[in-house]
Structure formats: C-alpha cells, structure tokens
Structure 1
Amino acid sequence: MDSLSSLSSPLQYPVVRRDDSIVDDYHGVLVPDPYRWLEDRESEEVNDFIEKQVQLTDSVLQKCETRDSLREKLTDLFDHPRYGAPFRRGDSYFYYHNTGLQAHDVLYIQDSLNGDGDLEGNVLLDPNELSDDGTVALRILSVSEDAKYVAYGISSSGSDWVTIKVMRIKDRRLEDDTLLWVKFSSICWTKDSKGFFYNRYSAPEEGEKLDVGTETNANINQELYYHFLGTNQSDDILCWNDPQNPNHLSQPYVTNDGKYVLLYIYDGCSSVNKLYYYEYKTSQLSNGLKGMIPFIKLVDNFDAEYIVVSNDDSSFTFRTNKDAPKYKLVRVDLNEPSIWNDVLPEEDKDVLLSANAVNKDQMIVRYLRDVKHVVQLRDLKTGSLLHNFPFDIGTASEISCRREDSIAFIGFTSFLTPKIIYQCNLKPGFELRIFREVVVHGFNREDFIVGQVFVASKDGRTRIPAFIVSRKGISLDGSHPCLLYGYGGFGCSLTSYFDVSRVILMKHLGVVFCLANIRGGGEYGEEWHKDGSLGNKMNCFDDFISVGEYLVDYGYTQPRKLCIEGGSNGGLLVGACINQRPDLFGCALAHVGVIDMLRFHKFTIGHAWIPEFGCSSKEEEFHWLIKYSPLHNVRRPWEEFPVKASQYPSTMLLTADHDDRVVPLHSLKMLATMQHVLCSNLEKNMQTNPIVGRIECKAGHGAGRPTQKQIDEAADRYGFMAKMLGITWIP
C-alpha cells in the first residue's frame, strides 16, 4: 500500500505529560483521566500541546501530493453563483446570493417579482463587510412584519455566541440597538413590528476580557426577553425564566394573526417539549409588565413534541409525535384544551417532516419515504390530498411560503443536482416552474450514478438504508477507494444533497461515496431514533460497521481503501468504530467529535445531550457509556485483535479553537490518548499509520465558516485521505 508510513521515516510524536494521579470513581469503577489538564483552554501547556500538534500535522500534509490539486479544483468548482429561495415580508422579497467565492452569502431585497419571475435585487446586508478575513458571520436574521427593519445576529470565529443588531431597511441605517450574550436563540418579532423576543444568558464574570467561544463553562439559566426598538438592552423585559430547571431551553413563536405568543420549552435535544401560550397585547408590554408573562400551560410534560403549523383564532394545528412516532397533525381549541383531534393521521411508512400553511386554507407537507422526500399540497382544514409535487428523487431543502400568499418557493437538491428553486403558483389552479437553477461548471451529472441499497444489520432484523454514488461503469472488483459517511443521532436525517468536494473525489480520485442512514437518525421516525440512543447507542456503530462490511463484500472497495467520516455526533461514530473495528478501515476523519462520553455534560451546552446519550452520574447509564466512549476504549489492536488487525487506520481528528458546542478538549484528549497508547516508544511498535489532529484557528463547530476555510479544510482532510489510501490524481 502506497502510504506515508512506507515512504518516509516514522513520525516523531510530541512527548505529552500524563497525570496518573487523576482517577475518578464512577459507581465503584475507577477510571483514570491522565489528560484532564487538556481541558484548561487558557493553560500555556495546552497551547504548547496544540502548537506541537499543528506542526506535526503540517509535516504530514506537506507530503500529501494531491492536496494542492484538490485545493485548486475545489476553488474552481466553488466559484459558481448560488441562491437561496426568496421569502416575503410586507411587499418585499428577500433572498441570499453568493457570487461564488465570497466568504458568506449576501442578503438581497427586491420590491416585487419581475414579469418572468426573476429577481434582480439590491444588497441589503453583506456579512463580508463585517471582517477582512470572513470570520465574522451572519447566524440568525428576521425581518419585521412591515419590512421596515431587519434584526440580525452575528458571531465571531465560529462561536455560538451571537450579538444582535438592527438595521432600518429603507436606507440601510444601523440602529443603536445592540444585544449581547445571545445564544441558541431566534429573533421573533411581534406583529406590530415594535420589537421582538429573544433568548440570552447572563453575562459571564469575565465580561469583556473573555475570548468568546473558548470558554467551557456550562450554559445554564437561559432567559426569554422582549426588546423594544430604540431602547437599551438593560431596559429589555424579562418574560420567562425557570431557575428551578437551569438546563431548560425555551423558544418563542408569535402566531401569524399576532394574537398569541407560544413558548416551547425543551429539556435538552430530545424530540419532546412543553407548550405554553399567552394571548397578549403589545400595550401590556409597553406599559411595563412587572413580572413574567403569565403563560397558560397547554402541555406541561415532556411526553411528545408539538410544533405549531397554523391557527384560526383559538383553534391551533400542531405537528406532533404524540402516539405517532412518524408524526401526524392534530388540532385543538384553546377553549377546550382536553380535546385533540387528528387532522392528518400518522402514515404507516412515511415520516411527516413538516407542514407549512399557504394560500389561506392549504398546506405544503413534506414526507420522508425511504430517505427520499415526497412533497404534497393538502387541505389545511381536512388534511385531504390536493396535489403531488412531481420532484425527482432528492431533498426539498427549503420551503418558503406564507399563509396569506398564493405563491410558494421550494428549493430542491440531490447528490447530482446542485440546486433548483421552484416557483409554485397556487391560485388559480396549480402551476409549477423552475424559478432559478444553480449550475456548476465542469460538472456533468451524466458521468455519475446513484443507487440505494438496504444492508442487513448485525441484529439480523433491521435493514439499514445507504446511498452509493460513483462514476458510471465502475467494476465491482474491490479496487476503488471509498468514503463512508454517517451521523446517526438526535433524530437528524441524512438525505441526498449536493457537495462540490464529493464530485471532485469521484471524478479525480476515483472514490465511491456512501451515505449510511444508520439508527439514531430520524429516517424512519422516532422509533428509529430511539433504537440508536441511550442504551441502544451501540446499534449506531453496529449499523455503520455493517454498511462498511457490505461495501467490502460487494466489491466496492477493500478495508485498506475504505475511509470513514463524520462530524459532531458523527465524530463520536467514527471514534467508536475505529476502536471496535480497526481492521475494517484504512483511514478515519472525525470532525469536532463528542469523544469523552463520561464528562461531555460538564461543558457549555453538553448537558442538552443527556437525553440522547445518558449521563455518567447514573450507574446504569455510566455502564452504557463506558462501553463505547472513544476516549476510554483505545486499545493496541496487535494485542487485542492479533489475527484481524495490526494497527489503527490512519486517523485525522479535526477541531477548532472557538468551538463552544463540542469543545476542543474532546479531540485534544483523544489525540493525546491515541498517540500514547498506539505510537509511544514500544518494544514492538506496530502503529505506523499516522494519528494526527487538524486544529483550526478562528473557527467553531462549523456554522458560519467562510468559503476559503471550507476549501482549505476539505483540501487538507481529503489530501490526507488520498495519501493514506494510496490514491493518485486522475486528470
């Protein structure tokens, strides 16, 4: 195999201090944590560790011959115009547009649709003006109902912390409003456009001295505020908090008629919420509401999820998984809160993903059928089917509509479709046409083929869907490099979507791409999710491994040419799988992974993941976690699996210095552990495959990353993959 280890001398890994005195007692089980000191992001010793790891990784990347070709081709293919689906506020249309290599998408405004339906708008908000290097990004945005103001949240260096600003749309004048310490929040205008609801946390004690995004303290006691335009944040009205439940998160929603404000309350990231409401008048706020808003509790337990679709006065329609793991629509009148009626019953096979009210008494609904989107027009009152949208196999990625409008926009993408924005005219009749199509020069969809397979799981009773994408006409002789991608958590579904980097891998590196829809996601509803969470989490890893074995058994690839990749919960997936089956993979790319499963809940928003993973403070759940926690299961395969595996696959752990969601300490501790266990001075050191970390500066968990950083990271990780799998560039 043509790999780095066979072409150069062994890597000289940094010597890293181990503190063997740190041992935790988990319910009678003693667990060492020798790299606990890597949790202190402000420590000079940690910074020295990072600097040496960066130097090591750079020395490896310099030997990856395809990296420069990848960067050049990525830059070339990224350089194409991209658009978002238009959305309407007042009498104006708004949409995002990127000319190609701009760091961030730009928000445009257009007074009306032209005769041919095209948009030729004016720049309203250009995030590229906010910083020279693109590291200040637009994260949230909301236009007031009268389209006079836009409130938007910006973040720096990829952090989840947001600062909200307000701009007057008419002349792009920036108002004095500045709201700080906002996180995990929307911007929710009231109907009169006098102000908006938002969520925030108390300012940390460090205040202005804090390098926002590098802290690791827990985010607790989120509060709901109302901000009137033109006032100081100190005058904002505290509308809701719950000090008895400091981990709870809330989200407001103002109904389309402006009469009610709903409050969703979440206990972590599980698919359940409480639901409160309040019928209010803005004058009540402006006159100085002294206490909390006296919300009425419509649903006051965490037994199901309830998301509003629409309301007619006190009659509300919700999407819910109450007694319906594949979701349904129900209706309740607030005056009779004990009576809930089904509007659109649960389907046997299809998962109801969303419902959007449009054209007064209609709705656009999205179903997921065997991981493919089905879009329908239905009657809002009765749920009866009115029309099936004739879309290809793929993903309806955006639905932009309002109940009062008869025109809707739907964004569509697939593995081989960069993006098509459809315009649907619902009055009179039904007319669907292409509004705008994104074209990537140099890409010909006819060169590739997409297939879907169903893989038998380890338990023998579950079929795991997987998409396989490759160049046409390949021979199934096991000779091809393969990239297997997965996630499997939090009920999130991975569907077909276009990615420039994958096109390059398939065209110029001969890679077969596989997307595995393992349990833990939402591809088949809440039962599919629960089958891959808490005590069932091992199913995720078993499913992913089964798909990898399928790719080998059916001749798509062979173990030494199989690379696995995943991010966040998918980084956990990759870390667990290389521990469990190091013999099955030739390379592993783990992005911003949740790695220390015994301590994840102690940092930033990690406590919100307890409903997904469990918590080591509970004995039963500790035993779930310790079995697969990547940090605690690194073993020398030449000792554990002497017949099957001689070493770990070449591994790159990717993290970023301002990731305040999955904090970098996860990847840093894993990097130190793997290098110590596998690569330290051993009498018989079998680990010649590199174990390295890519640590990005001025970046976070991924959202808001500028185009150039996306290109550079893709070139690095796939250049590393190509070198480790012995892949040469195909002109």
Structure 2
Amino acid sequence: MRLRTTLLTASAAVLALSAPAFAGDHQGAEITYPETRADTVVETIFGNEVADPYRWLEQDVRNSEEVAAWVKAQSEFTAAYLAELPGREAYEARIKELYDYERFGIPVEKGGKYFYTRNDGLQNQNVLYVRDGLNGEPRVLIDPNEWAEDGATALSGWSVTEDGSKLLYGIQDGGSDWRTARVLDVATGEVLEDKVEWIKFSGLEWAKDGSGFYYSRFPVTAEGDTFQALNTNQKVYFHKLGTPQSEDVVLYETPDRAELNNFAEISDDGRYLINYSSSGTDDRYEVSLIDLQSEKRGAMTLFPDFKHSYGYIGNVGPEFYFITNEQAPLQQVIMVNVNEPPHIRTVIIPERDAKLDSVSMAGGKLVAEYLVDAKSEVTIYNLDGSKVRDVALPSIGSAGGFDGDADDTEVFYFFSSFNRPTTIYKYDLDSGTSEVWEQPEVAFNPDDYVVEQKFYNSKDGTKVPMFLVRRADIAASGEAVPTLLYGYGGFNISITPGFSPSRIAWLDAGGAYVLANIRGGGEYGKAWHDGGRRQNKQNVFDDFIAAGEYLKATGITTKDGLAIEGRSNGGLLVGAVVNQRPDLVDAAHPAVGVMDMLRFDRFTAGRYWVDDYGYPDREKDFNLLLTYSPYHNVQDGTEYPAVLTTTADTDDRVVPGHSFKYAAALQAADLGGKPQLIRIETRAGHGSGKPTDKAIEEAADVGAFLAYHTGLDLTRMGK
C-alpha cells in the first residue's frame, strides 16, 4: 500500500457553546449546528484520494480538551432539541412504568444454595441474591447499586465454588470492557483481599477444589492508552486464593502469535482446562487441553488448524462432547475420547435442517436448542444421541439455559418474546414437565399485542424472515402505521425475539416494530453468515433495504413512516443504508456504530473484526470498504432523513470517534432541512452495565425523535 498523508490544520476554531439556533418548528427547520473544525487530511490509498477532515475527533475525550469541548457543545445542542419534542415526557413516563417490573436471572445451585440476580424494576443495576434451598429466604450477597453514585458500576459475571462457600465476581466501571475480579465469602459477606485486574473478554472459572480460579487477561497498557490501545498478547492465568496477582501462574500463552485470543474453561470433572485460541470474531478455534493432574501441565492440541467452531458441552471421563460446525454448517454434536489420539470424532447428534444454536449437558441428558426460522425449539437427547422428547415452549420466542451437573434431575431455563418479559422455568429432566419459578407482573396485557413472522425477497431473490409486532387492534384492522425496523446482520450473531419495555411503549403509541433477520447473522448457520460478510457485505444492506421496501409496499408502514435502528455492527448497517437509500428512510438511529471502515482495526477490539469486514490495508478489501463506509459516503446535496446518532464517551469497544466523525460529516453536508444530531452518553460504554435510569432516558429521547419524524403521535400517550 502506498500511503501519503498531509495534515494542514486550520487556525484554531472556537467551538460554539451557545444555545442551539432553531428556526421555527423542528420539521424542516433550518438548523445551525455547533462548529466543528475541519482539517485538510488527505491520504492516497491504493490510488484513491481519501479525505479525513475529522480525524482529530478520534482522540480519547479523557485526554483531549478540544474533543471534550466538542462533546459538550454537541450534547447541549442535542439535549435542547430533544427536550422540545412533543409527547416526550409522556413517552418517558410510560417507558419508566413499563420498566418497573421484577427481573430475575437463571438460578445456579452450588452446595445446596441457589444464586441468582434480581432487579426490583427501577434499580440501576441487578442485585445478586442467595437462598439456602430453592424456596429459602432470599439474602442479598452483592448490591452494585451501592458502588457508584451515578449507578454506572456494574456486577459483570460471577461464579461460585462447588461447595457454595465462595463467590468470584467481576466489576465493570462506566461501561468499559475492562473487568476487575474480587472474591466474597458467602457465609459472612466479607470481601477477601484477592484482587485481579486487566481482565477483558474472559470467563471466570473456579478450580473444582476452590483453591483458586482461572481467567484471561491482557498486559497493562501504557498510560493514557487504556481505552484505545489494541488488545494483544492475551494469556490464561491461575490465581491462588490468598496470594497477590503478581504471583499468578501463566497456564497458556502464544508469544509467537500475539494476535491470538486465549480463553479457557474447566472440564466437568475438574481434571482438564480447555483452552480456545482464536484470531478474530470468526468461530474458528484451535482447542487444547491442559491436564491439571500432570506436573508438567503441557497442552495437548485436540482440534488444530483454526478451521472450525468447537464448544465444550461436558464430559464423562475421557469422553468429551462438543458442538461444532465441522462437516456440519448448521452444527452437530460430536464426542471425542481424549485418551485415544488421533481423536476420532463420533457424531452423537447429527446436523438437521435447522441451526443447532447451543447444547448443554445435565442429568445424563443433552439439551439442544435449535433456531427454526430464528425462533427457539428445544429437544432432549440421551448421551448416545437418541431422542427423548421436545420441550413445550409457550409461543414464538427465545429460550435458553438448561445448564446443570451430572447428578441433577432438574434444570432452569428462561423464555421471552416481544410481548413477554423473561420468565424463569424449572424443568424436570425425568418427567419433561416445566413449571414457573419466577414470572414478573407487568404493566400491560401481553395478549394485547400480536407477534407474526413474515418472509420477503431480497434484491437477489433470497428469502429473508422478519418478525412483525403490533397492537392486536392495529393488526386486525390492517392499518398502516409508523414502523420501527431493526437489524444487525453480522458476526454470526442471531437476533431472536426478546422483550424491551421501550418497544412496548412504541407499540402502545400506535407504531409497529419489525425485526429483520438479515444475512451476516447466524440464524441459518454458516452459509447465512458467509452470505453477509467480507465481499458479500452488500447483501446485508440489500436485505435491510428490501425489508423497508416490503413494509411500505404492503401497507404495513405509512408512506413517510419508516424509522430504522441498529446497534454496533447494526449502527454501521443503518449508516450505510441511509447513504444508499435516503429516499426510503424517514428517520434513523445508528447506535454505537462502526462508521469509519478504513480505520476500525486501529483501536481496541477493532482488529478482530477483519473476519467480517476484511482488511483495510489489503487492496481488494479496501476498495469494497470504501464503497459503503458511512463516514466516507455521505451524499452531499441529497435530501436525508432525520438522523440521531448515539454513542458514549467511554465506549472502548467501538470507540466513540467513529460516531463523532460520522456526525460531523453529516452536519457539514447539505442534506436538506432535517436534523442530523448526535447524543453522547457519559460513563455508559458500549451498552453492557448501563444503569436503568440512563437506559430509560436514552430510550425516551430516541423514541421521541423517531416518532416525531415518522408521524407517530406521542401526545396521546396515556389518553
């Protein structure tokens, strides 16, 4: 690659910190945005002259006063606009009412004690409880709501020793991907002195005897680089209780391949540590076993070559069960005897005509969850692969859990759907009966909403499923209403039915909600993922565009009532689709999106994403990336829909510079009279660990913005 960079910085521009200037009503108003300095940054890459005038906005807001001032100006400007939107307060009140319900996590039994999370409804963070026996009196073990005044420090992952005496837990501050691990004595509630830092993209696994735990971590970053530096040289460690982190032992590392991720889990019998190595986001692993009973503790490679996906399910002695896509694009279950090289694979549950999404082992059974057109079906098998029965689920929705130990006779699972919040069930493995363990009371009637699945054709004729959710009266009448269309389309991630209070509020206001299961995801296995990544990425945008066209052509949505939304990779989706079809979209919400496709691999976890996006420093990949990069393809002189970009100033997964630069490009272009705004949250990261009050406020802002610009009347909320 030939690279030429010129940097000609204009004289220091003063950012406009005054109140926003609006001329008349919001719709079609002339908007004077805060000033953003544009530098003359031009690179010649593979013969293409590429401008990057807002590169200075890539700097970490913690380390740049100028970026911090820009964030402040944009935040004040956007807040003033959103505060004036009609019906916003009523909409927020309804969302808050809908959020106010009990939320339970799946309980974990250890040593006769049951551990689970619960939120009473409006608590900023979930609280961890324990019961002595399933029906014992609940006792609070950890309440992270006491950790920070702003509620932005969260409990992130936890694990209990086999005897139930000690709890290992992660602490997440301000939405960052970095974690700190601590240990708590369950009986006394005392936090022990053990403290392990610099954990990221790691599980927390106790040794079976409770003597310590296994985890993965990266090296300490240079000062000032913690939230932007690339993540390399991940190693697997063992921490012995009662010792400082400096004495932790490295169990697995790949110093000759610093780009590899290494993370591990303990086998059911506690004898082996199963290590997974990967180089990116693709499910292509090298799997090794470390015999913890051996003094040498050398690693035995079980599955080499980084060609396929493997996930440990459980083991009975030397017989290890894995879910894999090896010779099975929709996945199957295999068994390998680890004492008998060359480790011949025995197929236990063969591939079928639906995606095998996950498998767990409990009570001598295999519980297999399938995705059938993106919705859950669950089947129980014996360990020899013979079918026992199907699990009866309440309706169209998503189920998961079913974890347990070899001697368990019961397991727990969750079920949720668009109109049904998560309910926790107890399942009897012998009889096959389910009973409700915890079911929340909600401020709506689930039967007032209808969930349908429809199929439509994409540009190339591919049949794509979508879920359509409406109030029952609107569905019965066939009335066209403003519609919120959501998509993701990447990284082999399946987007399935799930509950959201803000989504119910949108339906209450009279809108429709649609989830399009576009290519790039994992809903139909490897082929569906491959059909929407690398050189096939345009299929993702075509699928989403076709969904919008279908909704308008069939009269589901109104002529000027299509809003689109996506998060992270879905933010990229929304940005690309707005650029390609601004005439189709009426309002857009790209959230924490990957917006600069030429530099995404230079920050934090971005280097992993080359599996889906390609390599910006390779000519073929670069040429494709340049065609759809949202930041580089804003169509100056074209009428654009209203766009509200959202991010967080502390996001260290998709660094906020992506959204900062994209919003600056939108505001600098002549895109007509509709607003191009950016909402920037503080101490919220990429999304996980976000406090409830911040989630409610953001949902109200976004929903009111999309409603106003699609004609959904929020002023009638509650009437």
TM bucket (normalised to shorter chain) is over 0.9
1:694 aligns with 2:675: no
Give the match for residue 666 of structure 1.
658
Give the match for residue 681 of structure 1.
none
User: What's the CA shift string for 1:378-410, capped at 9, x where partnerless?
Assistant: 102x21110111112211043342222111111
Aligned residue type for 1:199: S
- The structure 2 residue matched to 1:237, chosen from 217, 240, 249, is 249
Identify if the C-alpha distance between structure 1 residues 61 and 425 changes in structure 2 by more than 3 Å, giving closer, same or farther.
Answer: same
User: What's the CA shift string for 1:222-261, capped at 9, x where partnerless?
Assistant: 1111100010001111122222222211111111111111
Alpha-carbon distance, 1:157 to partner? 0.7
Give the match for residue 412 of structure 1.
415
Aligned residue type for 2:32: Q
CA RMSD of aligned residues (A): 1.7
Paired with 1:134 and 1:402, the residues of 2 have a C-alpha distance of: 35
Identity %: 40
1:483 aligns with 2:484: yes
2:529 alignment partner, SS class = helix
Paired with 1:17 and 1:199, the residues of 2 have a C-alpha distance of: 41
1:137 alignment partner, SS class = strand
Give the match for residue 386 of structure 1.
388
Give the match for residue 440 of structure 1.
442
Paired with 2:571 and 2:137, the residues of 1 have a C-alpha distance of: 41
1:225 alignment partner, SS class = strand
Give the TM-score of the pair, scaled to structure 1: 0.92
Structure 1, unpaired ranges of 5+: 639-646, 679-685
Give the match for residue 10 of structure 2.
none
Give the match for residue 466 of structure 2.
466
Q: Is the 8 A contact 2:362 2:403 kept in 1?
A: no
Give the match for residue 207 of structure 2.
190
Give the match for residue 253 of structure 1.
265
Paired with 1:636 and 1:362, the residues of 2 have a C-alpha distance of: 60
Q: Is the 8 A contact 2:311 2:322 kept in 1?
A: yes
Q: 1:244-393 maps to which residues of 2 (within 5 A)?
A: 244-281=256-293, 284=295, 293-338=297-342, 339-347=344-352, 349-359=353-363, 361-380=364-383, 382-391=384-393, 392-393=395-396
Q: Is the 8 A contact 1:4 1:724 kept in 2?
A: no
User: What's the CA shift string for 1:110-145, capped at 9, x where partnerless?
Assistant: 11123xxxx542111111121122111111211112
Give the match for residue 18 of structure 2.
none
Alpha-carbon distance, 1:505 to partner? 0.8
Q: Is the 8 A contact 1:397 1:413 kept in 2?
A: no
1:242 alignment partner, SS class = coil
1:140 aligns with 2:157: yes
Give the match for residue 641 of structure 1.
none
User: What's the CA shift string for 1:510-561, capped at 9, x where partnerless?
Assistant: 1110000000001101110110011101100000000000000000113521
Aligned residue type for 1:260: Y
Give the match for residue 667 of structure 2.
675
Paired with 1:138 and 1:541, the residues of 2 have a C-alpha distance of: 36
Q: Is the 8 A contact 1:318 1:331 kept in 2?
A: yes
Give the match for residue 171 of structure 2.
154
Alpha-carbon distance, 1:146 to partner? 1.8
Paired with 2:29 and 2:356, the residues of 1 have a C-alpha distance of: 55
Q: Is the 8 A contact 2:29 2:673 kept in 1?
A: no
Aligned residue type for 2:318: S
User: What's the CA shift string for 1:647-690, capped at 9, x where partnerless?
Assistant: 11100110001100000000000011111123xxxxxxx61000
Paired with 2:700 and 2:392, the residues of 1 have a C-alpha distance of: 37
Give the match for residue 494 of structure 2.
493
Aligned residue type for 1:19: D
Q: Is the 8 A contact 1:328 1:345 kept in 2?
A: yes
Give the match for residue 73 of structure 1.
94
Paired with 1:68 and 1:275, the residues of 2 have a C-alpha distance of: 53
Aligned residue type for 2:321: T
Aligned residue type for 2:34: P
1:53 aligns with 2:74: yes
User: What's the CA shift string for 1:464-506, capped at 9, x where partnerless?
Assistant: 1000000123277774110000001111111111111111111
Paired with 1:62 and 1:257, the residues of 2 have a C-alpha distance of: 57
Q: 1:325-724 maps to which residues of 2 (within 5 A)?
A: 325-338=329-342, 339-347=344-352, 349-359=353-363, 361-380=364-383, 382-391=384-393, 392-427=395-430, 429-441=431-443, 443-460=444-461, 462-474=462-474, 479-507=480-508, 509-636=509-636, 638=638, 647-678=639-670, 687-724=672-709
Paired with 2:583 and 2:341, the residues of 1 have a C-alpha distance of: 57
Aligned residue type for 1:346: E
Give the match for residue 7 of structure 2.
none
Alpha-carbon distance, 1:420 to partner? 2.1
Give the TM-score of the pair, scaled to structure 2: 0.93
Paired with 1:378 and 1:438, the residues of 2 have a C-alpha distance of: 31
Alpha-carbon distance, 1:89 to partner? 1.4
2:141 alignment partner, SS class = strand
Give the match for residue 109 of structure 1.
130
Paired with 1:717 and 1:486, the residues of 2 have a C-alpha distance of: 16
Paired with 1:277 and 1:179, the residues of 2 have a C-alpha distance of: 24
Paired with 2:594 and 2:110, the residues of 1 have a C-alpha distance of: 39
1:566 alignment partner, SS class = strand
User: What's the CA shift string for 1:61-106, capped at 9, x where partnerless?
Assistant: 1211221111111111111111112111122111111111111111
Q: Is the 8 A contact 1:352 1:368 kept in 2?
A: yes
Aligned residue type for 1:200: R
Aligned residue type for 1:439: E
Identify if the C-alpha distance between structure 1 residues 550 and 5 changes in structure 2 by more than 3 Å, giving closer, same or farther.
Answer: farther
Paired with 2:513 and 2:416, the residues of 1 have a C-alpha distance of: 17
Paired with 1:4 and 1:512, the residues of 2 have a C-alpha distance of: 30
Alpha-carbon distance, 1:281 to partner? 2.6
Q: Is the 8 A contact 1:478 1:552 kept in 2?
A: no
Aligned residue type for 2:686: H
Identify if the C-alpha distance between structure 1 residues 665 and 4 changes in structure 2 by more than 3 Å, giving closer, same or farther.
Answer: farther
Q: Is the 8 A contact 2:237 2:250 kept in 1?
A: yes
Identify if the C-alpha distance between structure 1 residues 388 and 4 changes in structure 2 by more than 3 Å, giving closer, same or farther.
Answer: farther
Paired with 1:196 and 1:301, the residues of 2 have a C-alpha distance of: 28
Aligned residue type for 1:662: V
Give the match for residue 15 of structure 1.
35
Alpha-carbon distance, 1:15 to partner? 2.0
2:604 alignment partner, SS class = coil
Alpha-carbon distance, 1:607 to partner? 0.5
Alpha-carbon distance, 1:5 to partner? 5.3
User: What's the CA shift string for 1:15-60, capped at 9, x where partnerless?
Assistant: 221111x222322222111111111122222112111111220121
Q: Is the 8 A contact 1:637 1:648 kept in 2?
A: no
Paired with 1:129 and 1:358, the residues of 2 have a C-alpha distance of: 36
User: What's the CA shift string for 1:244-284, capped at 9, x where partnerless?
Assistant: 222211111111111111101111110111100021238x4
Paired with 2:186 and 2:495, the residues of 1 have a C-alpha distance of: 37
Alpha-carbon distance, 1:375 to partner? 0.7
Paired with 2:377 and 2:121, the residues of 1 have a C-alpha distance of: 30
Identify if the C-alpha distance between structure 1 residues 337 and 27 changes in structure 2 by more than 3 Å, giving closer, same or farther.
Answer: farther
Alpha-carbon distance, 1:691 to partner? 0.1
Give the match for residue 683 of structure 1.
none
Give the match for residue 173 of structure 1.
190
Q: Is the 8 A contact 2:332 2:349 kept in 1?
A: yes
Structure 2, unpaired ranges of 5+: 1-22
Q: Is the 8 A contact 2:27 2:709 kept in 1?
A: no
Alpha-carbon distance, 1:608 to partner? 0.9
Q: Is the 8 A contact 2:239 2:248 kept in 1?
A: yes
User: What's the CA shift string for 1:265-320, capped at 9, x where partnerless?
Assistant: 111110111100021238x4xxxx7xxx5211112211101111111222211100
Q: Is the 8 A contact 2:291 2:298 kept in 1?
A: no
Q: Which moved more, 1:69-78 or 1:661-670?
A: 69-78
Aligned residue type for 2:59: D
